[in-house]
Amino acid sequence: MTMLKSISSFFDRQYQTPRWLAHKLSRRSALKSAAGAATIASMPLMLSAKALLQSAPLLAEKKMQDPWLTLDAVLNHLLPKSPTGPSAVELNATQYLFNVVHEQPTEKGEIEFIYKGVGWLNSYTQSQLKQNFSMLSDQNKEKMLRAISRSVAGDNWINNLVNYLYEAMLSPPIYGGNPNGIGWQWLEHKGGYPLPKVGDRYYELPGQKPINIVNIPVNNTLAQGRTKS
């Protein structure tokens, strides 16, 4: 039984930051430096061009329902359109996160936390405003995210998604985000060379196992939040 199974909301005091997330958040400060950006941009993430072609239409279908409907709305609110830099939409941030969850060997505890957070968020917005998060106005989305950020679990969940916004901006385009290097162009950064190509990607190296699409079951009631009949 995982720790999350006993947690009922972002505000549950039983929640404790998991070790995998504490490690990730401690590393994120490196992104504040140019050296950190270069490191992330050249990371050998484990996703193939073929997998991208397979996952793009699948995401388009799943974005019409939760959990991806809510995750897309949260990412787009966290990094909206702006005259000063690329948005989550322009960075293909939702596609990048979808690939992390479905294509890469991401820790199951992290995937569970991402999905559980969708249910906790929608349950909270339903209790406060009688609507799921994706249906709220921008003003109310901001209000709800600020409210959950005051809890440990909520702050962790938002920060984990922000981490993936950084990765979508800084990773080579072959991994799903940063189309045409739009993030690099904004940062005036050049990705490490040689960039990954077919045959040289991390999982294709000798001794590595091929990556298969992972289907993680989602509790629909949890992901969609509690709605009144």
pLDDT in tens, 141-163: 999 999 999 999 999 999 999 99
Q: pLDDT tens, 190-222? A: 776 667 665 554 544 566 554 444 444 454 444
DSSP state of 9: S
- pLDDT confidence band for 185 (50 / 70 / 90): confident
Packing angle of the helix pair 68-78, 152-170 (nearest 10 deg): 80
Q: pTM of the predicted model, to two decimals?
A: 0.76
Mean pLDDT of 67-90: 93
Angle value at C-alpha 216, between 94 and 219, nearest 5 degrees:
95
CB–CB of 114/68 below 8 Å?
no
Q: How many residues does the chain have?
A: 229
Q: Please identify which residue in the block is written with the tokens 């294709």.
A: 204
Q: Flag whether pLDDT at 179 surpasses 60.
A: yes
Distance in angstroms between the alpha carbons of the first and the last residue of the chain: 31
Q: Taken in order 178, 84, 60, 144, is the CA torsion positive or negative? A: positive
d(CA 220, CA 218): 6
Query: Which of 16-25, 26-35, 66-75, 97-106 has the largest mean confidence?
Result: 66-75
